[in-house]
Amino acid sequence: MTYPGLAGRMVVVTGAAGGQGAAEALLLAASGARVVAVDLQAQVPEVFAAGDRSDPSGPPVSYRRLDVTDEDAWQRLARDLAAELQGNPLRALVNNAGITHRARLGETRRDDWDRVLAVNLTGPMLGMQALAPLMGPGSSILNIGSSAALTAHYTAAYTASKWGLRGLTQVAATEYGPRGIRVNALHPGFIETEMTRGAPPAMREAQLTLTPLERLGRVEEVAELAAFLCSDAAAYIAGAEIPVDGGFASAGGSKYMSDSIRDASTSAALRPTLVAMLHKLD
């Protein structure tokens, strides 16, 4: 599937060396966009090398090193893109870069707190400041949040950064809307990536227990919605926050309660039969 309004247009995706970011970059390129993928590593990621792309017939992905916490680096990128755009507007910015820190509030050190907020919240702010001036009517900014931004997740710094990103998204949607620039947030749940593979087994098991669809998500499922929100198909969607989490956030833990009540009821219904069987054995 391709998405309208992206062909030949430039899109920037941060945190694109792997996982969700790479999937988003590849799908946008498959829709004809000129994708500029940025991340911390110096070498071009293998996923963007010739022959490794999911759609070899589409435009290639251009990779550049960028630290999203570096304001000067953002300004350099803006100048480079302005020269390449030659007066045409930048189509989209996908603020995907993010890091986690799995620690409770009482165990969170100040340097870890600062590091997480610098990448997850300050990074998108710097990106919008630098690249929004290159945008025009029909352009799109997409901030990748998390289901942790919709719940009281235990990861203190990560959760705070993603809740902050929700507020920043709404401010940006209000400020840039009159210029025809749409700003939205997408909130993935537990998606299978390199970052989530390091989660404790107990966390994965609990996530499945609390998720109505009873499975983890795939990066392609996040990328599909990201491409849609960057395209003309979402031309009247602004200030929206859309979960991609298998129903996790909306269920609010009620799935566990419902399953527990069902299991208890089933056990109660079977108890007379089990008692009768035991009497026969006696």
CATH of the domain at 85: 3.40.50.720
How many CA atoms, within 13 angstroms, populate the side-chain half-sphere of residue 20? 31
Catalytic residues: 158
As for how many domains the chain has, the answer is 1
Least confident of 163-172, 251-260, 268-277: 268-277
Domain assignment of residue 123, yes or no: yes
Question: pTM for this one?
Answer: 0.88
**pLDDT classification of 279: cutoffs 50, 70, 90:** low
Give the least confident one: 128-137, 205-214, 223-232, 240-249: 205-214
Is 17 or 280 the better-scoring residue by pLDDT? 17
> Taking 50 as the threshold, does the pLDDT of residue 52 lie above it?
no
Least confident of 7-11, 53-57, 182-186, 220-224: 53-57
Per residue in 209-220, pLDDT (tens digit) is 899 999 999 999
Least trusted range by pLDDT, from 31-35, 51-55, 235-239: 51-55
Residue 277 lies in a domain: no
- CA dist 273 and 98 (Å) reads 54
Q: What percent of the chain has pLDDT over 70?
A: 89
Instruction: Indicate the pLDDT class of residue 81, thresholds 50, 70 and 90.
Output: very high
Residue 267 maps to a domain = no
Is 128 part of a structural domain of the chain? Answer: yes
Say whether pLDDT at 246 is over 70.
Answer: yes
Which pLDDT value is given to residue 50?
57
Does residue 159 sit within a domain?
Answer: yes
In a domain, 262, yes or no: no
Torsion of CA 156, 161, 163, 167, to 10 degrees: 150
Question: What pLDDT does residue 280 have?
Answer: 65
Mean pLDDT value of segment 143-165: 96
Q: What mean pLDDT is predicted for residues 96-117?
A: 96
CA-wise closest residue to 139 among 68, 59, 62, 231: 231
Q: What is the mean predicted confidence (pLDDT) over 232-252?
A: 95
Predicted pLDDT of residue 146: 96
pLDDT tier at 231, thresholds 50, 70, 90: very high
How far, CA to CA in Å, does 174 sit from each of 61, 135, 164, 182? 31, 15, 16, 9
**Residue 29 placed within a domain:** yes
> Which stretch of 42-46, 55-59, 148-152, 153-157 has the lowest confidence by average pLDDT?
55-59
Q: Average pLDDT over the chain, rounded to whole?
A: 90
pLDDT tens sequence across 190-203: 999 877 777 788 88
Residue 207 tokens read as 């996530």
Domain assignment present for residue 94? The answer is yes
Q: How confident is the model at residue 255 (pLDDT cuts 50, 70, 90)?
A: confident
Percent above pLDDT 90 for the chain: 76
Q: Answer with the residue of higher pLDDT: 188 or 54.
A: 188
- Rg (alpha carbons) of the chain, rounded to whole number: 22
Q: What is the average per-residue pLDDT within 127-153? A: 97
Strand segments (E) across 10-167: 10-14, 34-39, 62-65, 92-95, 140-144
Per the structure, the complete domain to which residue 37 belongs is given by 10-251
Question: What confidence category does residue 53 fall into, taking pLDDT thresholds of 50, 70 and 90?
Answer: very low
Q: For position 51, what pLDDT does the model report?
A: 43
